[in-house]
Each structure stands twice: as structure tokens, then as C-alpha cells.
Amino acid sequence: MGLKATVTINQLGTELYIEFLEATGVYHVTDNPGGFGGSNAARNTLAIILYAVHKKVLGDVVASVVLNDPFSVSSFTVVIDKTVNGTLEYSLFALPIFDDLLTYEDGNIVYDAITDPMSPIIKEMVDGLWVAVTADELIGNEDVIQTTDYAFPIPQAIALANLLNAAKMLKLRRYIHKRCSKEEFHDLRIKFEYVEGLIKVATLAFCKQAYNEAQIDIEEVFNYESIALIGNE
């Protein structure tokens, strides 16, 4: 299967939201072959773990992730420390839930909340014995379903995104007011608010593709003006 996630950040730049359940979706042989269930593992057979870290020249700082039950969590909230320069990177893992009735072999990695419910652990079988491992040690392990596609610049990039948003919104509002008389403003305002929302979400999400697309000139978004604004001159 293939884990997928949608990522957004709050307006203050203090929390990052990583939603994987709906993004990964339900298995479909053609439309969504990487979804939960079907020929892939079902959500209720997996523990979902998130590991996030502030990467910086002077040494990495583990990010604070709001605690969730790995068996039922559908999204994660990462608390962003804006005093830490560098980037925020995360890894999202799907681990089989340990079952003491099953037989395991070397290389198997599971999430065990049965042996000691008060202190669940991630463990790997090595030479026939279970060895505790940490989430960061799983990064790049081909035996674990994971996604590590995103890196988020902070805090400078958050400030930059807010400045870009403000500049784009101001430019767009001026453009509309210039082109439309007051009584003809409503229809185009609806289009403006739609585009405004798209730009704001895309820029704040820091997804590379969305971020790049958000840099498009506002007036290019309104290329339909020759049709939409007939009679407004």
C-alpha cells in the first residue's frame, strides 16, 4: 500500500496538520491501489506513528507531536517551534500490530502494546529475538510502510508565506475594485474569494507543487476578464 497525506499549517504558523486517513483512502484496484483494505492492510490492523524533527546545522531537535492513539488516529498535529531555524521534516509510519498468536521471522517490525500496555514499543525481530527500536531508526527501512515526502522551512518561510499572501490579496482586491463598478462587484467578488482561498491554502501548505503554483501572477488567474467583465469598463 502507499500512505498519502495532506498537509496544512495554521495562520499563526504554530501548528502543522498532517491528515493521512482520508488522503490514503480505501483500496480500489484501479482508482486507488494504495489505499487501506482489499489486497493491502486494513487500517485496524496497523498502528500509525509520526516522527517529526527540526533539522538544523547545530543539531536536530525532535519536534513536539500531539499525543494520539496509534490504533485510531486519523491525523497528527505537530507543534512548530518558530525559534528553531532550519526545516521541519516528518516521517509517517504504518506498523503491523503485534499479535502473540502469530509467528514472526527476522526483519519483521511491529507495534507492541500487548506485552506492556503501559509502555508500548516498536520492536524488530533480529536473530529470532525481539529488539526495541525507535521511530527515527525506521526511516528508510524498506520493511516498513512510510512516507517522508515533505520538508517545511521554518520560521523564515512561514513569515515569507504570510507576506506573499498579504501582497497577493492586496493586489487582487485592487484589481477587482479597479475593474468593477460597485453595483457589478458581487459576481466577480465570488470568483475573487475562491481564488483567494486557493492561494492562501496552497501557500500555507508548503507542498512544493502547490507552493510553486501559488506564485502565478494574480492577473493570469483572471485571464477570463475579457468575458467576465464585458460591459464593466
- Angle, to 10 degrees, between the axis of helix 185-205 and the axis of helix 156-179? 170
Q: Region of 128 please: left (phi>0), alpha (psi -120 to 50) or beta.
A: left
pLDDT digits (tens, 9 = 90+) for 165-208: 667 666 666 666 666 555 555 666 666 666 666 555 555 554 44
- Residue 225 backbone dihedrals phi, psi, to 5 degrees: -55, -35
The cell for 181 is 463598478
- pTM, two decimal places: 0.62
Residue 5 CA to its chain's centroid (Å): 5
Q: Which of 7-21, 37-51, 81-95 has the highest mean pLDDT?
A: 37-51
Neighbours of 48 (CB within 10 A): 24
Beta bridge partners of 16: 9, 78
Q: What is the C-alpha separation between 204 and 196, in angstroms, rounded?
A: 12
Residue with the larger pLDDT of the pair 107 and 188: 107
AA identity, residue 16: L
- pLDDT computed for residue 89 by the predictor: 82
- pLDDT computed for residue 14 by the predictor: 77
Residue 112 CA to its chain's centroid (Å): 26
Strand 129-133: give its sheet, edge to edge. 109-112, 121-126, 129-133
The reply to whether omega before 117 is within 30° of 0 (cis) is no
